[in-house]
Structure 1
Amino acid sequence: MKRKVRVLIIEGSAVTRRILTAILAADRELEVAGAVPDLHAAREAVARLEPDVVTLDVAVLSKRALGSLERFMRTSQAPVVLVSPPTQTAREMTALALNLGAVGVVRLPSRELVRRMPDVVSEMLDTVKAVARGRPRPKTVSARAEPQAPPAERAAPAASAERVIAVGASTGGTEAIRQFLMAMPADAPGLVIVQHMPERFTRAFAERCNELGPVRVREAKDSDRISPGHALIAPGNLHLRVRRDGKGYRVALENGPPVNGHRPSIDVLFASAAAAAGSNAVGVILTGMGADGAQGLWAMKRAGARTLAQDESSCVVFGMPREAIALGAVDHVLPLSELARAALRLSGAGDRWPPMRPGRRAGGRAGGPPPPRP
């Protein structure tokens, strides 16, 4: 009999604790190891109960408590999934907690509606199970490795505006994107990024990423130019497409229907990069649950782009990379720590970097499905 996933709930409201306990306990694959009201009680509970995953009510946080959250995540081996109510304060705390190493977020409607929201319940169950069965959460901000850097004595060649790197991530992706961007030099090709994240969280995430290193990062606006040394992150609830503009590119933001259940969708980004940039693009698929991005990455490869996937050992959830590899859409499978260097070299912008370490060549079936519409 398969072992159940043990979940620790951190929830400030006794009523909501009972609701969440009932939701999770009703699933045959889950076991509620315990439910506590705050981080102080959670520290003792994690050591005693050894849960596989922790759900954290964002409402228990304050800016003064973020230091406690960072210490909790640094010492606990259990990944943290945020449960976020629909308030402005909760949105701000969610963005900060994601930057500290939380691996995912489930949006919670008003407490009166929780029992009648099957989509939210399904999202919570799927996220908890996927995170728990993946690798333990990545290192927190304080514990992360130093970014790669080019040799200081060698001048960096100018990057071409015709080169573009497209990146997609979901569960666990906030920390993966941060580490990827930290390893990028100031003259990196223009980057466009889709991270599955609720609306209004992406701006704060982009602002935090902008503090990491030489690449300038911000939330994308419609018609923004994709420029060397800059990264544009798709806003929550809007698709981001790459459009050709002379010898360079701009982004187009669209409120189209969700693709693979997501808006923004990684498939939409990758398919548009295939159509606009072809062999001048590099596609990178990072940690995440589901299959979004697999067909789009296959479209990029078919158009002549080079493609990369994060390996299973460094993923929080290997779902999206696994699907892309199975489809035959991936040229190289590498650890997160090596992806930035590989993307630079494959884009033609990494001549001053050490050669790529030979990674696993991705297999997968030949051919593949028709690409998604760019």
Structure 2
Amino acid sequence: MTIRVLIIDDSATMRAVLAARLSGNPDIQVVGLANNAAEGRALIKELTPDVVTLDIEMPGMNGLDFLDKIMTLRPMPVIIVSGLTAAGSDSTARALALGAVDCYCKTDYSGAAMQDGGKLAAMVRQAAQVTVRRRAPEVHHMADPVRAISAGHGRTNTRVIAIGSSTGGVEALQVLLRNFPEDCPPTLIVQHVDARFAPAIARTLNQASPATVQLAEPDMPLKRGHIYLAPGDDRHLMVAGANTLHAKLRPGELISGHRPSVDALFASVAQRIGVDAIGILLTGMGADGAKGLLAMSQAGALTIAQDEASCTVFGMPRVAISLGAAQVVAPLGRIAQHAFS
């Protein structure tokens, strides 16, 4: 099956570069080129592409506003094409939170080199496997777990919460973390994302969460009310310590095809914390986190997997469920309630 791609970018040069990077692949067809949101909208209606690549900074309606309309009215897999300026990184993080499935950096390759080693084509192939659903506003609202925690209910013995996510994960994390209490147990997250966008993603999630979200640093003490995002710079994020817990970042081989790996985080929590932990596995392609979630479950921790209906990609949770690793399978908007009730 041929994957039909629409490229939306206000730069004629960049449109040509992106088209050249895709056109040599027999399974990918560039069906249209648009230089702004208005043209893009018309071509989406006319061509019904399988995947859209979208520039953020465009005249008229910017890419973020256009992406919001796409995800609300006609959801489809969108790859954001972004620069690495501070503003570009923040916009990319917001785009991922709106539902973009991946981000492709314009500055990965010098000049206007026509080939990128197949990176964009690989992103397109993955994006084509994603089922993007129309956003349901009610998923953002649930019984407020903050009141339950303050009233002394819930799992008061939880020392650590560990979360893993991949494709669609930034959007899912934004929904999940807004339902966390301000004084939540120390929480660690491995999200598969380009490390260059990790600081902006932490800032975006911090705006959504009552707790403080920040990038994890080596030997950083783990505190209540803080959520630590793996920086994604070729180091695994794990929990270390005994009575006093801290974040451990270390290089190493790929685990389950990734570095940082959700399996590495979950395995360390299973070993160090055991029963007084919660593991949450969200949307994502592949199997990273499934074995680690099983280890956490076997160590006595509460383990939760996102259900198929609310996943962008029901890959990682599906494998975990098939292994018997998930004690609870829940819609995204109810996961926090299971964790804190």
CA distance, structure 1, for counterparts of residue 114 and residue 29 of structure 2: 20
Judging changes above 3 Å, is the alpha-carbon distance between structure 1 residues 221 and 273 closer, same or farther for their aligned structure 2 residues?
Answer: same
User: 1:197 maps to which residue?
Assistant: 193
Equivalent AA in structure 2 for residue 124 of structure 1:
M
Shift in Å, 1:223: 2.0
Indicate if the aligned counterparts of 1:102 and 1:172 stay in contact, CA closer than 8 A. Answer: yes
Partner residue of 1:224 out of 212, 220, 225: 220
Judging changes above 3 Å, is the alpha-carbon distance between structure 1 residues 154 and 219 closer, same or farther for their aligned structure 2 residues?
Answer: closer
Tell me, yes or no, if structure 1 residue 129 matches structure 2 residue 119: no
Indicate if the aligned counterparts of 2:262 and 2:289 stay in contact, CA closer than 8 A. Answer: yes
CA distance, structure 2, for counterparts of residue 281 and residue 340 of structure 1: 14
CA RMSD between the two structures: 3.0
Secondary structure in structure 2 of the residue aligned to 1:225: coil
User: CA deviation digits over 1:339-368, x for unaligned, max 9?
Assistant: 111122xxxxx2xxxxxxxxxxxxxxxxxx
Judging changes above 3 Å, is the alpha-carbon distance between structure 1 residues 87 and 76 closer, same or farther for their aligned structure 2 residues?
Answer: same
Shift in Å, 1:128: 1.9
User: CA deviation digits over 1:178-222, x for unaligned, max 9?
Assistant: 111111122332211111111232222222222224222222222
User: CA deviation digits over 1:273-328, x for unaligned, max 9?
Assistant: 11111111111111111221122222222222222111111111111112222333
User: 1:92 maps to which residue?
Assistant: 90
Q: Following superposition of structure 1 onto structure 2, how do residues 174-189 of structure 1 map, counting pairs within 5 Å?
A: 174-189=170-185
Indicate if the aligned counterparts of 1:189 and 1:228 stay in contact, CA closer than 8 A. Answer: yes
User: 2:42 maps to which residue?
Assistant: 44
User: 1:239 maps to which residue?
Assistant: 236
Indicate if the aligned counterparts of 2:54 and 2:63 stay in contact, CA closer than 8 A. Answer: no
Judging changes above 3 Å, is the alpha-carbon distance between structure 1 residues 143 and 87 closer, same or farther for their aligned structure 2 residues?
Answer: farther
Equivalent AA in structure 2 for residue 323 of structure 1:
V
CA distance, structure 1, for counterparts of residue 270 and residue 208 of structure 2: 29
Secondary structure in structure 2 of the residue aligned to 1:210: helix
Judging changes above 3 Å, is the alpha-carbon distance between structure 1 residues 256 and 113 closer, same or farther for their aligned structure 2 residues?
Answer: farther
Indicate if the aligned counterparts of 1:59 and 1:85 stay in contact, CA closer than 8 A. Answer: no
Judging changes above 3 Å, is the alpha-carbon distance between structure 1 residues 13 and 191 closer, same or farther for their aligned structure 2 residues?
Answer: same
Secondary structure in structure 2 of the residue aligned to 1:263: coil
Secondary structure in structure 2 of the residue aligned to 1:250: strand
Judging changes above 3 Å, is the alpha-carbon distance between structure 1 residues 233 and 153 closer, same or farther for their aligned structure 2 residues?
Answer: closer
Judging changes above 3 Å, is the alpha-carbon distance between structure 1 residues 67 and 135 closer, same or farther for their aligned structure 2 residues?
Answer: closer
Between the two proteins, the alignment pairs up a number of residues equal to 337
CA distance, structure 1, for counterparts of residue 148 and residue 286 of structure 2: 43
Equivalent AA in structure 1 for residue 8 of structure 2:
I
CA distance, structure 2, for counterparts of residue 292 and residue 65 of structure 1: 31
CA distance, structure 1, for counterparts of residue 78 and residue 337 of structure 2: 29
Judging changes above 3 Å, is the alpha-carbon distance between structure 1 residues 239 and 329 closer, same or farther for their aligned structure 2 residues?
Answer: same
CA distance, structure 2, for counterparts of residue 225 and residue 5 of structure 1: 47
Shift in Å, 1:26: 5.0
CA distance, structure 2, for counterparts of residue 162 and residue 317 of structure 1: 29
Unaligned runs of 5+ in 1: 345-349, 351-374
Secondary structure in structure 1 of the residue aligned to 2:296: helix
Shift in Å, 1:257: 3.5
Indicate if the aligned counterparts of 1:7 and 1:55 stay in contact, CA closer than 8 A. Answer: yes
CA distance, structure 2, for counterparts of residue 154 and residue 94 of structure 1: 34
Shift in Å, 1:161: 7.0
Shift in Å, 1:229: 2.5
TM-score, normalised by the number of residues in structure 2: 0.86
User: 1:212 maps to which residue?
Assistant: 208
Tell me, yes or no, if structure 1 residue 273 matches structure 2 residue 269: yes
User: 2:117 maps to which residue?
Assistant: 117
CA distance, structure 2, for counterparts of residue 88 and residue 63 of structure 1: 20
Equivalent AA in structure 1 for residue 331 of structure 2:
P
CA distance, structure 2, for counterparts of residue 317 and residue 335 of structure 1: 13
Shift in Å, 1:334: 1.6
User: 1:146 maps to which residue?
Assistant: 141
Secondary structure in structure 2 of the residue aligned to 1:231: strand
CA distance, structure 1, for counterparts of residue 30 and residue 50 of structure 2: 10
Judging changes above 3 Å, is the alpha-carbon distance between structure 1 residues 53 and 258 closer, same or farther for their aligned structure 2 residues?
Answer: same
Tell me, yes or no, if structure 1 residue 313 matches structure 2 residue 309: yes
Judging changes above 3 Å, is the alpha-carbon distance between structure 1 residues 293 and 230 closer, same or farther for their aligned structure 2 residues?
Answer: same
TM-score, normalised by the number of residues in structure 1: 0.79
User: 1:54 maps to which residue?
Assistant: 52
Tell me, yes or no, if structure 1 residue 170 matches structure 2 residue 170: no
Equivalent AA in structure 1 for residue 326 of structure 2:
V
Indicate if the aligned counterparts of 2:236 and 2:250 stay in contact, CA closer than 8 A. Answer: yes
User: CA deviation digits over 1:155-190, x for unaligned, max 9?
Assistant: 432875752111001110011001111111223322
Equivalent AA in structure 2 for residue 125 of structure 1:
V
Judging changes above 3 Å, is the alpha-carbon distance between structure 1 residues 292 and 275 closer, same or farther for their aligned structure 2 residues?
Answer: same
